[in-house]
Amino acid sequence: MPIELGPFPAKPGYDTARALDRADPLRSHRDSFIFEDPEIIYLDGNSLGRLPSAAPEALNTAVRDHWGRGLISSWNERWWDLQLELGDALAPIIGAGPGEVIISDSTSVNLHKLASAALTRQGKAKIVTDDLNFPSDLYVLDSVARASGGSLHIVESDGTHGPTSGLADALDGDTALLSLSHTTFNSGFTYDMDGITSMAHEAGALVLWDCSHSVGVVPMQMDDWEVDLAVGCTYKYLNGGPGSPAFLFVRERLQSELTNPIHGWWAHEDPFALHPTFQPTDGMRRFHVGTMPILSLVTVEAGLAPVLEAGVEAIREKSVALTEYFIELTDSTLADVGFSLAGPRDADTRGSHVSLTHVDAWPLTRALIEVGKVVPDFRAPDSMRFGLAPLYTSFTEIHTAVHRLRQIIERQIHEEFRGIVSKVT
């Protein structure tokens, strides 16, 4: 017999949640997404955004018409520059100009390309980061620093907040590059991108931001804040689909000073002349390597549209309201059953996800998904992460999710899920 929560009586405060939804200026944007199972409360949009309503049709056209009928001619007609066009479409979301952004490869690969290019340009090889950065970023930065004969300096934090003063101390004359996650993947701490960028510049370092957890939900001004380099995912809050290629930003005046360490034909000044030697082209195309995954670019296009339509400022406003509401409910409903907030209380330093710790985080996550029909994600060893995607997450969903979680604990339902093993958490 599957365990069921049974009828779910409206809990105190439900009317408040409904009123917040009615007053939400972004509520109609939920229609830009597909809800295959309307019962599921999806709070994992910071790992894999929901399916945009326009994506299946766009993919179908790309497969049947452009691939099926157009065959190779579709490269000329529409595919060759698609990643540049989408880069320009994404640019306003991050406060960048045309010709400063491309879509290409994965975030990890783009980070490698840009960090390596930065070290070569700087003629030094020390990289500074913090221990809140995503592990893949730490691996990439470490390997890039070592390959240039330098090292990665990882500044320690308190586990939640970015160690700003520790970073200031670590930036010295040998430092080529400061690279950080804008919003950190676990606690959701969000750096003052403008201030930290200036701090790096004063120390003579370039700065490379990973915006995977902030792009599309936290406004940023790459040009005004004189950011040098940035990368980030398109499959999280930008809803580009599983494994969709990442973005890569290079400030215009640096483009000609940087060289892509991976010499591929897509970055050649004349790719179809098929020269035996590499000659990089100008502009952002020089940061490409090889052939683009066109079908994934098509879904990136479908994912960007609702974000551009709503506007990042409005999205941020709702994001702050959602995280504040979630934290308020955590304090009132979950604190006395063992949950603690593992992220910042100050909205100015928070992204759009909230992390809670609990000793039983893993069985609770499984029970919440299987029995509660609420999807968060789990981050070892003891945190549950709730990604609140403003385009499709409602206040009533948050209210229901929190109360279902409490009900699971009260009835000890998670005890049944202790031994479960899962490949992806």
378 forms beta bridges with 384
Nearer to ligand PLP, 238 or 361 (CB): 238
User: Catalytic annotation on 210?
Assistant: yes
Nearest-approach distance from CB 46 to ligand PLP, in angstroms: 8
For ligand PLP, the binding residue among 50, 213, 366, 414 (CB under 6 A) is 213
Q: Annotated catalytic, 81?
A: no
Residues 102 and 248: beta-carbon distance below 8 Å: yes
- State the DSSP H helix or E strand holding residue 179, giving kind and residue range, or none if neither: strand 175-181
The first and second tokens of residue 422, run together, are: 């899962």
Task: Name the minimum Å distance from CB 28 to ligand PLP.
Answer: 29
Q: Which residue has the tokens 């709730």?
A: 386
Please identify which of the residues 235, 237, 247, 392 carries the catalytic annotation. 235
188 vs 357: CA distance, rounded Å: 13
Among residues 249, 248, 253, 194, the alpha carbon closest in space to that of 221 is found at 194
Instruction: Show contacts with ligand PLP in window 220-249 (CB under 6 A).
Output: 233, 246
Residue 134 annotated among the catalytic residues of the structure: yes
In angstroms, how far is the first alpha carbon of the chain from the final one?
A: 25
Which listed residue (50, 113, 124, 236) is catalytic?
236
Known catalytic residue at 251:
no
Closer by beta carbon to ligand PLP, 106 or else 120: 106
| Residue 102 CB partners (closer than 8 Å, separation 6+) | 83, 84, 87, 247, 248, 284, 285, 287, 288
231 versus 364: smaller Cβ distance to ligand PLP: 231
The Cα–Cα gap between 424 and 379 comes to 10
CA distance 287 to 314: 32
Query: Which are the contacts of 324, defined by CB distance < 8 A and separation ≥ 6?
Result: 347
Q: How far is the CB of 243 from ligand PLP (least distance, A)?
A: 7
Distance in Å, CB of 9 to ligand PLP, minimum: 38
Among 79, 134, 249, 378, binds ligand PLP (CB under 6 A): 134
Site for ligand PLP in 46-85 (CB under 6 A): none
Q: Which of 106, 120, 281, 357 forms a contact with ligand PLP (CB under 6 A)?
A: 106
Which of 44, 105, 130, 134 is an active site residue?
Answer: 134
Strands 175-181 and 229-232: unpaired
Task: Name the token pair of 14.
Answer: 């439900």
Asked if 366 and 360 touch (Cβ cutoff 8 Å), the reply is no
The nearer residue to ligand PLP, 107 or 175, going by C-beta atoms, is 107
Q: Which residue out of 44, 137, 210, 377 is catalytically annotated?
A: 210
User: Residue 384 or 408: which CB sits closer to ligand PLP?
Assistant: 384
The beta-strand segments (E) located in 323-369 are 340-341, 353-357
Instruction: In whole angstroms, give the CA distance from residue 154 to residue 226.
Output: 24
What is the smallest separation between the CB atom of 211 and ligand PLP, expressed in angstroms? Answer: 8
Collapsed DSSP state (helix, strand, coil) of residue 313:
helix
DSSP state of 340: E
Q: Which of 175, 181, 197, 299 binds ligand PLP (CB under 6 A)?
A: 181
Please give the helix or strand (H or E) that residue 175 lies within, else none: strand 175-181
Asked if residue 100 binds ligand PLP (CB under 6 A), the reply is no
**Which is nearer to ligand PLP, 134 or 378 (by Cβ)?**
134
Q: Which of 185, 287, 326, 417 binds ligand PLP (CB under 6 A)?
A: 185
210 binds ligand PLP (CB under 6 A): yes
Q: What count of other Cβ atoms lies within 10 Å of the Cβ of residue 253?
A: 9
Smallest separation (angstroms) from ligand PLP to the CB of 138: 10
Binding window for ligand PLP (CB under 6 A); candidates: 6-14, 131-139, 165-173, 324-332: 131-139
- Taking CB under 6 A as the rule, does residue 212 contact ligand PLP? yes
- 413: amino acid identity, one letter: I
Q: Write out the two tokens for 29.
A: 């944007």
The tokens for 376 are 């968060």
Per CB under 6 A, contacts with ligand PLP among 135-154 are 136-137
CB of residue 352 vs ligand PLP: minimum separation in angstroms? Answer: 12
Nearer to ligand PLP, 233 or 267 (CB): 233
**Which of residues 66 and 112 has its CB atom nearest to ligand PLP in the complex?**
112
Instruction: Quote the CA–CA distance of 232 and 107 in Å, as a whole number.
Output: 6
Residue 236 designated active-site = yes
Q: At closest approach, how far in Å is the CB of 210 from ligand PLP?
A: 4
Which residues have a catalytic role annotated? 134, 210, 235-236, 385
Binding region for ligand PLP (CB under 6 A): 106-108, 134, 136-137, 181, 185, 210, 212-213, 233, 246
